[in-house]
Amino acid sequence: MAAIVLVHGLYHRPEHFALVAEPLRSAGTEVVVPELHKGSLSADTAAVQAVIDSLPEPSIVLGHSYGGSVITGLHESGHLVCLAAFVPAVGESAATLGGTSPQLQDAINPEPDGSTGLYPDRAAGTLYGDCPEALAAWAVGLLRAQAPGCGRGIPERHSWKHTPSTYIVCAQDRAIAAGLQRKMASRCTYVHEWQTGHSPS
């Protein structure tokens, strides 16, 4: 059985995938959740590529939100899954594609050192609006500061051109507009649409 690699988005940690990863592991599937926050898109992509290269066979790789830009730059994956994710074409970045919604922009808290965080109350409604309150509070508590520039990175490769891919549009998303998601989804092999927010629970 192919391993599954889960790639988180900006401000998030591998622990955000715990409720997905643990049931899969309990069922006997190998699941790897790399840590991003390496300082740039290219560094984040390299960190995930190292995981891909360590696995014995092509894996299923899911990228959520910014994680879509990361997995766009990979090679030798078995299947890409883009969950409410950015799927840049040549010369594009998450920022030039339209970036985050005005609601998410309003949730961003700039720090003096150039990094950014998220205001907890605004993050809850924007990222986890359809999650149970306790689950949303848990997820907000895990959020971490983000170094500048990752969303402006341009992938060096475009794996969706050569690798089978599935895009999952989250139609009630308050962080990335559903219309933008549908545009990017047209680049993928298969498309599904869920009536959920940015972080399906």
Q: What is the pLDDT of residues 72-104, one digit of tens each?
A: 999 999 999 999 999 999 999 999 998 889 999
* Percentage of the chain lying above the pLDDT 70 cut: 100
Give one word for 130, left, alpha or beta, with left for phi > 0 and alpha for psi -120 to 50: alpha
The listed CATH number (3.30.1490.190, 3.30.1860.10, 3.40.50.300, 3.40.50.1820) that belongs to domain 4-98+150-194: 3.40.50.1820
Long-range CB contact pairs, 189-194, < 8 A, 24+: 189/164, 189/165, 190/164, 190/165, 190/166, 191/166, 191/167, 192/166, 192/167, 192/168, 193/168, 193/169, 194/168, 194/169, 194/170
Q: Indicate whether 149 pLDDT > 90.
A: no
Domain limits, the chain: 4-98+150-194
Q: What is the pTM of this model?
A: 0.96
For residue 147, the tally of other CB atoms under 10 A from its CB is: 15
Mean pLDDT (the chain, rounded): 95
pLDDT tens, position by position, 12-29: 999 999 999 999 999 999
- By CB atoms closer than 10 A (0-12, 13-18, 19+), residue 1 is exposed
For the chain, give the number of residues.
201
